[in-house]
Structures are given as C-alpha cells and as structure tokens.
Amino acid sequence: MSRSRANLGVAAPGIRMDSFSPIDGARLGSVAATAPADVAAAVSGAAEVQQLWAQLRAADRARYLARAAQAVIDEWDDLLRILVAEQGRPVAEAQTMELLPAVETLLWLAEHGPRILGPERVGLSRSLQIAKRARLTFEPLGVVAVLTPGAEPFATPLGDVAIALMGGNGVVLHPSPLAALAGERIARAFARAGLPEGLLQVVHGDPPTARALVSAPDIAHVRFTGSSQAGRDVGEACAQGLKRATIEVGGKDPMLVLADANIPRAVGGAIYGAFANAGQSGGSLARAYVLRERHDRFLAGVVARARALRVGHPAGPATEIGPLLARDRLERLVAFIDEAVAGGATLHCGGPVDVDGHSGAFFAPAVLTGVPADARLLHEDAPGPWIAVQAVDSEQEAIALCNAGVGGGLGASVWTADQYKGARIAREIRAGMVWMNDHVVSRTEPQLPWGAVHGAGIGRARGDGALRAMVEPKLVTWDPPGGRIAWWQPYDRSLVDAWRALARLRSARDSDRQLGWRTGIRPLARVAGRTLRSVRRR
C-alpha cells in the first residue's frame, strides 16, 4: 500500500473557509471548503482505499496509530499554538485535555486494539454440537463519518478517527467550522504517520455539508459530538437511513456532595468540573446538590475560588478562563442567567468581562443559587462557565434531583468518604458514568467508556465497546468433513425419543434426569451409532 499524505477532501474550486480566533477575532488562516454536492466523491475516495486497508492485520494498522502519536509529540508546540489561538483554551488545559489525551488514545489503541479485535472462540453446548467449532471474527464496517465539536477540536475527533481506522474503516472527517485548522492538523498527524492517501478524507463546510455527509449512502456509521438539537437531527437522519450512530450531545452534569465529603476537595472538583474549558466541554458540571449541613461552607468556597480564577488571554500560563468559542454563546448565556435571576435566582459572582486589548467573548465564572426548576438555563444548551448550587435535605432528594431529567444522563459525581455508600448511590443515579470524588474522569482516559443514557447520547466513545462498534462480528464455524449431523434426515422414532431424553437429562430435577437415563439410553445409543457409521462411510 502506498504511504503518502491523507487526502484533505474534495474542495469546491475557489471556495475557502476562514478561521478566526475567539480571542480577538483575528483571521488565523483558511481551508478549502467542500460543497454538499462534492461530499459523495470524498466518501467514494475513502471507500476505494478502505478495501485495501481492511486487508491489513490489526497489528499492522496499529503501527500507523503509534506513528501518529509520535507525530503529535513531534509537533507539540505548533499544535499547542494553533489550539490556543483557534479554540481559546488556556495553554495548560490545551495540553492536559487535548494533546496528552490524543497521544494516550493513539498509544492505547496501538497496544490493545489488536487484542480487542482478535478472533474469539465461542463455546458450544456439547449435548448437541459434539464436533462443531465456532469463532467470531470482526470485520470493518466500511466508511465512518466523524463530525466534531468546536469546543473540543482535537482529542475528541482524533480519537474517533483513530478508533474507526483501527477497526479497518475509511474515515470522512467534518471538523466544526469553528475549528477548521485543528481538523487539518488531525489529518496531518495521520499523513505524517504514512496513512494511505485517501483513506482519511476531510470535508470542511457549514451544516449543509455535514448533512450531505450524514446522508451519504456509503457511510456505514456516524460518530457525532455536538449540540442537543444537532445530535437529534443526526440521529433522525441515521434512523431513516438505517445507519449506525454514536452520538454525544453532552448534558448538564450534576455533583452530589454528601455530609461526609471532604469539602476542600469537593470545592476544587466543582471549580474544575464547571469552569475548565470555560464550561464548554462535554460533561461540564452544571448542578451541585449539597447536603444542607455542608451547603454554606461549600457555597462560600466555590464563590471564593470562582472569583479568584484568572480570566484573560489563553496563551498566558497562569490564565484559567479563556473566551467562549463564539459571541452568540455569551449572549445566550447572559440571557438565560438574567431570566433565572428575574425568576428568583441569586447570582453570587460572574458575568461578561472585558479583557484589555481583546474583543473576545470573555465571561467570568458564575455561581448561582435558587435557580427555578423550570429555568431555561437548566434545560437548554447554555455552554459557559456557570454552576447552580442547591441545598438538599437528604441523599434521596439529591438522587431524585440528579435523575430529574435535566440535560439527560451523561455523567455525575458523588463526593463522599464512604466508598461503599458512594457505590450504592452510584447504582441509583441514572447516568452513563458516575465518578466518586472527581469529575469528568473518563474524558482523558481512552480505556474508559464515555457515553450517556436517557437522551444525552447513544453508544460509547471510548474503551473496548467503542472499538467493537467500529466492526461487524462475523460467525465462522467448522465441522469435520465426513459423516452426517445427528438430526439430519431421515427422521424416525429413535431420533424423537433421543431428543426427549436429552431434554430430561438437562433438567435441574433428579427425577427428570433419572427418567431420561431409563427411557433414553437406547434411542441415544442408536442415534450415536448411526452417526458414527456415517463417518466410516467416507
């Protein structure tokens, strides 16, 4: 197979998409855009190369992923510069939440992917299948579409691309229009790894291009991360086309602070979970339910820490809050918070701020209490650095609020000194992931499954299950070439009596098994003898 650059899509002649920094609106560069009518050609290009890629052993595909990890490391500083400028994420977070997870995902897949995708022997019941052997093999699906979020533009889509490639598939990547340069660098990492040209296609464009990709007939699976409404649209399109999909639409994740929680740790976890990436990550913390006896201390700590967070240019090593990805996010968040306050909520700190010399949508972390249960802030997409704190009288009340359906069921965290009590509560919380004494654990660990229940997503984005979702299990059986199967025609009374006796022998009752031996020994012997004689007549 040729080892050349990845194909950067089928671009419409002369059409370019500009990338602008959320920090100050500066133009960072441009990429070639793909018109909706040209998406099918990109999918066909990936499908053509995929037929050869699928023939490689999983161990051979793994080597490409290991080389891609090295490519990310080699271009670390350049990637960091691009991510900070295009995403607006503080430089410390861009490394710990984007670049390092990308490297770890690639290396984990390279090391463990061949084992996960290896053939599996299937054990059969020997009461009927005396000589038959069975195994499962895992075959590629074909071409996978990956649609990515703007607020998490590198590790998340790169992981989706890598999982699809490890499964033997071709990939068409549609980066968010707000993260076009990051999408290009994903393709470049795999190109530097020697990925066959055309196997990974990149199509840039607005929603019509994304819709054309999802609806393309040759797309076998869609991996989507983004807003709730867009996720529902993708899910409906996949259902209409009978396509598989992995969909993550985030959620308004809760934390439950119990009476025995370590409050300083819980405060630190709330600050990180709610305000990292300016509150725009999938799984960002939005709701804190605190046992009443710990509420005041917890609230005071969160407000003090939130006020101390430094808002500024994300390239500064001490900056903790960068700008929101787009101006409309700030406007939406301000409107929702104003509505909540008008409905009786208290805003303890936070709101829009000006950063000298920069026109970006900067928003200081907001802490609220008394948010009405029907507030749009709690029910509609409102990415940003905010958290609503609420006192509860019991653990059961906190669990009920966690399960109330606000934002679906992506993740939740339980803060307690009692591991067994935490595990009990975790079983009662309806969420795809429950973390104890930490939040958003699974986002950076490729071996841990990431996914939701109850309307916040479909499928899992990481772990063994995510990789298995990229392949089709195929059953392969083997029988000796000679003889006949015992239940093949012709039928007779011995066959009927033998199967009745066999069922009795499988019974849990001693009396049934005794009856099976008494009535079945002769017909079973006749059937066995007939089968053995057929083997000798080869």
Kindly report the pTM of this predicted structure: 0.90
Q: How far apart are CA 538 and CA 534, in angstroms?
A: 7
Q: Share the mean pLDDT of the chain.
A: 91
- Average pLDDT of 42-53? 97
Question: Would you say residue 430 lies in a domain?
Answer: yes
**The tokens of 57 are what?**
């052993």
Question: Would you say residue 377 lies in a domain?
Answer: yes
Specify whether the CB–CB gap between 48 and 198 falls below 8 A: yes
Question: Would you say residue 292 lies in a domain?
Answer: yes
* Residue 506 exposure: Cα atoms within 13 Å on the Cβ side: 10
Question: Would you say residue 453 lies in a domain?
Answer: no
342 shares a domain with 212? no
Question: Nearest 5 degrees, angle CA 53-CA 56-CA 57?
Answer: 145
* Counted domains in the chain: 3
Does the structure show a pLDDT above 60 at 11?
no
Specify whether the CB–CB gap between 161 and 171 falls below 8 A: yes
Q: How far apart are CA 104 and CA 155, in angstroms?
A: 10
pLDDT band at 7 (very low <50, low <70, confident <90, very high): low
pLDDT band at 528 (very low <50, low <70, confident <90, very high): confident
The predicted pLDDT at position 139 comes to: 95
178 shares a domain with 93? yes
Question: Would you say residue 167 lies in a domain?
Answer: yes
507 shares a domain with 426? no
Longest dimension (CA), the chain: 95
Question: Would you say residue 522 lies in a domain?
Answer: yes
Does the structure show a pLDDT above 60 at 6?
no
The predicted pLDDT at position 127 comes to: 74
Question: Would you say residue 455 lies in a domain?
Answer: no
pLDDT band at 1 (very low <50, low <70, confident <90, very high): very low
Q: What is the number of residues in the chain?
A: 538
The predicted pLDDT at position 218 comes to: 94
389 shares a domain with 282? yes
- Average pLDDT of 156-167? 96
Taking the C-alpha atoms of 288, 289, 295 and 299 in order, what is their torsion angle to the nearest 10 degrees? 10
* Residue 276 exposure: Cα atoms within 13 Å on the Cβ side: 24
CATH code of 367's domain: 3.40.309.10
Cα separations in angstroms, 391 against 238, 258, 298:
41, 11, 10
368 shares a domain with 299? yes
> What's the per-residue H, E or C state across 135-153?
EEEEEECCEEEEECCCCCC
**Does the CA dihedral 431-436-437-438 come out positive or negative?**
negative
Of residues 228 and 266, more confidence is placed in 266
Specify whether the CB–CB gap between 228 and 222 falls below 8 A: no
242 shares a domain with 107? yes
Query: Look-up: residue for tokens 């309307």?
Result: 455
**For residue 283, what are the domain limits?**
253-441
Select from 432, 454, 474 the last residue of a domain. Answer: 474
pLDDT (tens digit per residue) in 322-364: 999 999 999 999 999 999 999 999 999 999 999 988 999 999 9
Select from 451, 474, 497 the last residue of a domain. Answer: 474
CATH code of 46's domain: 3.40.605.10
376 shares a domain with 516? no
Question: Nearest 5 degrees, angle CA 430-CA 283-CA 280?
Answer: 150
Q: How far apart are CA 519 and CA 492, in angstroms?
A: 16
127 shares a domain with 81? yes
105 shares a domain with 70? yes
Question: Would you say residue 165 lies in a domain?
Answer: yes
383 shares a domain with 324? yes
pLDDT (tens digit per residue) in 215-239: 999 999 999 988 888 888 999 999 9
Query: Look-up: residue for tokens 């003898």?
Result: 529
CA of residue 127 relative to chain centroid, distance? 42
Q: How far apart are CA 439 and CA 423, in angstroms?
A: 15
The predicted pLDDT at position 2 comes to: 39
286 shares a domain with 233? no
The predicted pLDDT at position 25 comes to: 93
335 shares a domain with 215? no
- Average pLDDT of 449-467? 86
Instruction: Name the nearest CA neighbour of 165 among 118, 120, 212, 117.
Output: 117
